Structure 1
């Protein structure tokens, strides 16, 4: 089958971006410019631009048109960020990812709630049992990159700093260690899908932009589950890396 015209235009623009002809921050030719340059209909040009936006190569900026994304991807190294020497020394696990870039947390809420059915079995609890839920949105250089919701058994963490928005140096895992429930093992499940409407709004995603879902399970001694953390990441903002011995 011949390649549709909008795909041909997207391929041409993608090559220019990857070759550096259109560097990060550069203005991408507008819909009208593409119509004139390639002799296509406006809808064809619009679809070509939508392809690049869906691939995370471009972003629309109010008042300045569409530009090549200049955000440097976040390198997420699961083994490094979850190592005990990271959170055990009072550093946030986020510091392992950011290479000194500024990170902020907003929309943070912490509350005791009934445990959802999908979480209860993983925590060894009955559905509806009390859990503390930590819900946050993370921004890097002012850009929303991840939503995270942690669930922890109320019987383990009640009265601790984990039940406050700022859990202190080293975060939740350092506080669990102080309570005698230091995580000694983790398991993560990863999958991708299109975002729900509320996720797209919270992460300021363009049309067609996917998300990566990571569910992390943390275990203390004797395999006792101490946390389930559901994370929704803007797929275009991350580069994920796993390193392990042969």
Structure 2
């Protein structure tokens, strides 16, 4: 049973923030679990002895933090679903490609989700200066651009855009919508570019309006950005991938050596 304290009228902190703090603690401690309905405005208003508007402000604060979501006609619920665990040291292991699985498929399945990819588009373009620099391309060189959206149990969690030098993608399924088992990296290795290492730059920010629409994000929910560059055994950059992830959907894990 949910146990909530009372507002301290002598506290300088506004009542709605005190209420938000107690609800936040209930979520973080597991008193309110993922997918569970938060007590109604009426119930919280009666418990704390405050106006409904005060309760509404408290819930809005939690909503802006991405802790709860509102469902029209049903109420407010603790954000469902644990995050997809993204283990950097394992996600590009060659054994996954040998099994015909791309990285997202492996991650989603390990986290208990059914993976799906949609909104796939493939074009040829002249890259911007940042991508060209990462891929060490000369002026006028083209890239194959592959954009897509990833879903877990039907819920959008990530968008990704890959840039592959056109010279490496030519006459491969990289230029087709369906790249085949193992994805882009399997096709690159088949073309003689054995992968050796990756670099990633991770950031966080608020989403653009278009990102909010595509990822179906509530107001105030941030995104994680990961820009990855893949290198082959000759230290040639063979792909740049720019991803935008719904922050509450992911847990990023990296391993480091102690040397």
| TM-score, normalised via structure 2 length | 0.88
Q: How many residues align?
A: 246
How far is the alpha carbon of 1:114 from its aligned partner? Answer: 1.8
What is the SS of the residue equivalent to 1:149? strand
Deviations 1:38-71 (A, max 9, x none): 3334443233112222333211223322111221
* In 2: Cα distance, 1:43 partner to 1:120 partner: 52
Structure 2 residue aligned with 1:199: 211
Q: Structure 1 residue aligned with 2:131, among 106, 119, 122? A: 119
Q: Structure 1 168/44 Cα, relative in aligned 2: closer, same or farther at 3 Å?
A: same
* In 1: Cα distance, 2:37 partner to 2:196 partner: 48
* In 2: Cα distance, 1:193 partner to 1:31 partner: 31
Q: Structure 2 residue aligned with 1:157, among 166, 169, 181? A: 169
What is the SS of the residue equivalent to 2:89? helix
* In 2: Cα distance, 1:97 partner to 1:133 partner: 23
Structure 2 residue aligned with 1:174: 186
Structure 1 residue aligned with 2:156: 144
* In 2: Cα distance, 1:38 partner to 1:206 partner: 27
Larger radius of gyration: 2
Q: Structure 1 residue aligned with 2:74, among 64, 72, 88? A: 64
Q: Which runs of 5+ in 1 are unaligned?
A: none
* In 2: Cα distance, 1:176 partner to 1:88 partner: 13
* RMSD across aligned positions (CA): 1.8
The answer to which of 55-64 and 142-151 deviates more is: 55-64
Structure 1 residue aligned with 2:24: 14
- Give the conservation status (yes or no) of the 8 Å contact 1:174–1:182: no
What is the SS of the residue equivalent to 1:175? helix
The answer to which of 58-67 and 34-43 deviates more is: 34-43
| TM-score, normalised via structure 1 length | 0.92
